[in-house]
Structure 1
Amino acid sequence: MASRRGVLGGLLAAGALAGGDARALAAERGTGDLGIVVERASGSVQVVETTGRTSLGRIAGLGDLSHASAVFSRDGRHAFVFGRDGGLSKLDLLRGVVAKRVVQAGNSIGGAISDDGRLVAVGNYEPGGVRVFDTEALAPVADIPAAYGPGGTARSKVVGLADLPGRGFAFSLFDAGEIWIAAVPPDGPPEVRRFRDAGRQPYDGFVTPDGRHYIAGLFGEDGLARIDLWRPELGVRRVLQGYGRGEEPLPVFKMPHLRGWAVAGELVFLPAIGRHELLAVDRRDWTERGRVPTHGQPVFAVARPDGRQVWVNFAHPRNDVVQVVDTQSLQVAHAFTLGRGVMHLEFTPRGEQVWISVRDSNRVEVFDTRSLARLDSLPAESPSGIFLTARAQRIGF
């Protein structure tokens, strides 16, 4: 058996996979507790399991993973990894191999998988737009250029791509200040609905867990843009307009990520652009309910699945700390100093563990979220994103 913390000693290690016994054992493993850790410097991912908190092996040859993200097939067996070089890689987590890889653009920024599991969409900076592929063979299905301006001659960077119920996707156009919703029917071209005047420079977006609201954060102004997906005819509504109240913003060294949204009961916790605070928003009427002063500029604010805590990491130069926010008192209840380059946080499905990547220390730390005790420390090469297969069962992930 693999050693508890062995990086390459598990069932999926490249050498072990040459043997039939290792393949048979790997094939018998379920996928519900699997996940991947992106190793950005080496263009690889580690396959991990959360029950024993071990690494099962490494899959390499995935290109530029400096801003990589991933989604999963419905059964959790395959991960689809989006690389900054435009690479779309389909990984077989049980066999520990690249099942298929295409370089579909020059610069991509993330993607989403449709609710039926048949389509994977990629948001691209270059060329600006969304490209859709079937998940079986990664064959092209649709191309949606993010064209705007007079005659549609300009192309916008696409950000905030998220899946919607009904084989749909929502995404924002950073340069155009627009939000688009696209449905991709089994037959025929995509059906695209455009919402203009969404605000200046939408930089990311997310869908609420019930699939009802798409929210885009705005970099060019204080506020957010919201579309009620049950009533899209109402158009774009503003949320927290002018939350900076004329204050001079602090420098932004790293853009916050709204995809790490924190929905806790009736509150949504959002990073404030250019400010060292979280905004607590009532998701019933989208009004501000309070603010939480933080250690630095928040990057990810992620709720424990039961909504009792929100864990937050921060941008350079204060990226060595993780804070735990109590969602009832709106106070910071605990802080960890883990080392420079805390990049990402991911909870296990029931929230008993949180996995945290610490890039500059080349390790992934695992904590018990109730006792706050460290459970394990796994070596990894410049780890960044951590993605668990439980995401396959959640809208907007």
Structure 2
Amino acid sequence: MAMLPSTLRKPLAAVSLLALLAGCQATPNAELRGTGDLGVVVERATGSLAVVDTSHHRVLDRVEELGDLSHASVKFSRDARYAFVFGRDGGLSRVDLLTGEITHRVMQSGNSIGGAVSQDGSLVAVANYEPGGVKIFDSETLEEVAEIPATYRDDNGEEQRSKVVGLVDAPGNRFVYSLFDAGEIHLVDMHGETPEVSRFTDIGEKPYDALIGPSGRYYIAGLFGEDGLALLDLWHPEAGVQRILPDYGRGEERLPVYKMPHLEGWAMAGDAAWLPAVGRHEVLIADTGDWSLIDRIPVHGQPIFVMSRPDERQVWVNFAHPDNNVVQVIDTERREIVATLAPGEAVLHMEFTPKGEQVWISARDSDRVVVYDTRTLEEVARLDSESPSGIFFTDRAHRIGL
């Protein structure tokens, strides 16, 4: 049997100890713990993140100086140690959840609206309003890898740049996003040295947000300019974009829209998809076999997030102003509202623990996060937080589109 060089012939215990010490030296302030029960709460008024322990309902740390977080979103690295924070001011920050430090930060645009991490974890993409387009960065260093302008031709034939919305990751190291001003969906393949962009035009008027199914097959963009949604089957992109639910509001007057619904975090229950209706006090239910409308459930207000508990037995819904002080719970089997809860003023976001036994809810104007038991629907914890908005747990690191 071949012998190791003498410089490498050390007792295994010594090698392990050296490796441990090396790791400690690299991150001297890091608590020796896993990250699986960690998460962050965006505190928009102070430009900070509260790092939380979801098992013990406590704030572990606060990370400040993250810029304008008025419409911030967060994604996680493949190892769930780092949070990528996408600020409205165009700032992209990489935060170490264990040390509570910003490891890297770049001001990559004038106005951004979220981002995504690639399937292999190596890339971070950012959707930009100003200038319209997508920028892609190395996830370790935040060095820019590519810039993809969101260009289109207006009615006069002149080239313009569109706001980018609904950016998600897709299997195969691809990103998908929509162009609000152009009415297009773009699919970007990052396998090669340069991005390969496929364009799908005339998908509908003013796509405002989008989602991707948990399997990564269907990308669906909601339309603000008209009823309906646009669906792209990523298994068969050559088939083009299909319009679904085009007539759900026919003959009805749309109410004033105070806040755009969010499609990310959409609800799947069995063979049905649960979606927020635009400008109506309804949750829509579609058959995922043929994407036809099968039911509409009247709810408290204009829904913003329609989110499924991980076991798909419940759907939780929050609402736009002025009806944003309650959350409603729908039983997916009976398709009935079973509870109306009042966590506080201006409920902005909800996040289920990975297996769904609890849900965390942010009440911005009450400066608190409220935790409910999803079986009993009783409050189990309350955390003080200044103007909390988005809540994001690290299990998102291993889920497509989140």
Alignment-derived partner of residue 306 in structure 1: 311
Q: In 1, distance between residues paired with 2:356 and 2:270?
A: 15
One-letter amino acid of the structure 2 residue matched with residue 85 of structure 1: D
Q: Structure 1 residue aligned with 2:128, among 113, 124, 147?
A: 124
Q: In 1, distance between residues paired with 2:87 and 2:268?
A: 27
Q: In 2, distance between residues paired with 1:340 and 1:236?
A: 39
Q: In 2, distance between residues paired with 1:145 and 1:246?
A: 38
Q: Which segment drifts farther, 162-171 or 151-160? A: 151-160
One-letter amino acid of the structure 1 residue matched with residue 180 of structure 2: F
Aligned length, in residue pairs: 376
Q: In 2, distance between residues paired with 1:192 and 1:152?
A: 21
Q: In 1, distance between residues paired with 2:29 and 2:131?
A: 43
* 1:286-365 equivalent positions in 2, closer than 5 A: 286-365=291-370
Residues 78, 121 of structure 2: 8 Å contact kept:
yes
Alignment-derived partner of residue 50 in structure 1: 54
One-letter amino acid of the structure 1 residue matched with residue 186 of structure 2: W
One-letter amino acid of the structure 2 residue matched with residue 184 of structure 1: M
Q: Secondary structure at the match of 1:27?
A: coil
> Are positions 1:217 and 2:222 aligned together?
yes
Residues 291, 330 of structure 1: 8 Å contact kept:
no
Cα deviation for residue 81 of structure 1 reads 0.5
Residues 89, 112 of structure 2: 8 Å contact kept:
yes
Alignment-derived partner of residue 139 in structure 2: 135
Alignment-derived partner of residue 145 in structure 1: 149
One-letter amino acid of the structure 2 residue matched with residue 247 of structure 1: E
> Are positions 1:154 and 2:160 aligned together?
yes
Alignment-derived partner of residue 14 in structure 1: none
Q: In 2, distance between residues paired with 1:45 and 1:208?
A: 28
One-letter amino acid of the structure 2 residue matched with residue 211 of structure 1: G
Q: Structure 2 residue aligned with 1:72, among 64, 71, 76?
A: 76
- RMSD across aligned C-alpha pairs, in angstroms? 1.3
Cα deviation for residue 24 of structure 1 reads 5.9
> Are positions 1:272 and 2:272 aligned together?
no
Cα deviation for residue 260 of structure 1 reads 2.3
One-letter amino acid of the structure 2 residue matched with residue 155 of structure 1: R
Q: Secondary structure at the match of 1:390?
A: helix
Alignment-derived partner of residue 249 in structure 1: 254
> Are positions 1:40 and 2:39 aligned together?
no
One-letter amino acid of the structure 1 residue matched with residue 33 of structure 2: R
Q: Which segment drifts farther, 25-34 or 113-122? A: 25-34
Cα deviation for residue 282 of structure 1 reads 1.1
**Residues 86 and 146 (structure 1 numbering): CA distance in 2 closer, same or farther, change over 3 Å?**
same
Larger Rg: 2
Q: Which segment drifts farther, 137-146 or 285-294? A: 285-294
Alignment-derived partner of residue 15 in structure 1: none
Q: In 2, distance between residues paired with 1:160 and 1:198?
A: 14
The gaps in structure 1 that reach 5 residues or longer are 1-19
Residues 362, 380 of structure 1: 8 Å contact kept:
yes
Residues 29, 99 of structure 2: 8 Å contact kept:
no
Q: In 1, distance between residues paired with 2:96 and 2:344?
A: 32
Q: In 2, distance between residues paired with 1:143 and 1:196?
A: 20
Q: In 1, distance between residues paired with 2:80 and 2:158?
A: 39
Q: Deviations over 1:265-321 (max 9, x none)?
A: 211110000100100111121111111110000000110000000000000001000
Q: Secondary structure at the match of 1:391?
A: helix
Q: Structure 2 residue aligned with 1:234, among 235, 239, 254?
A: 239
Alignment-derived partner of residue 59 in structure 1: 63
Alignment-derived partner of residue 168 in structure 1: 174
Q: In 1, distance between residues paired with 2:338 and 2:255?
A: 24
Q: Secondary structure at the match of 1:335?
A: strand
Q: In 1, distance between residues paired with 2:354 and 2:30?
A: 22
One-letter amino acid of the structure 1 residue matched with residue 80 of structure 2: G
Q: In 2, distance between residues paired with 1:201 and 1:25?
A: 47
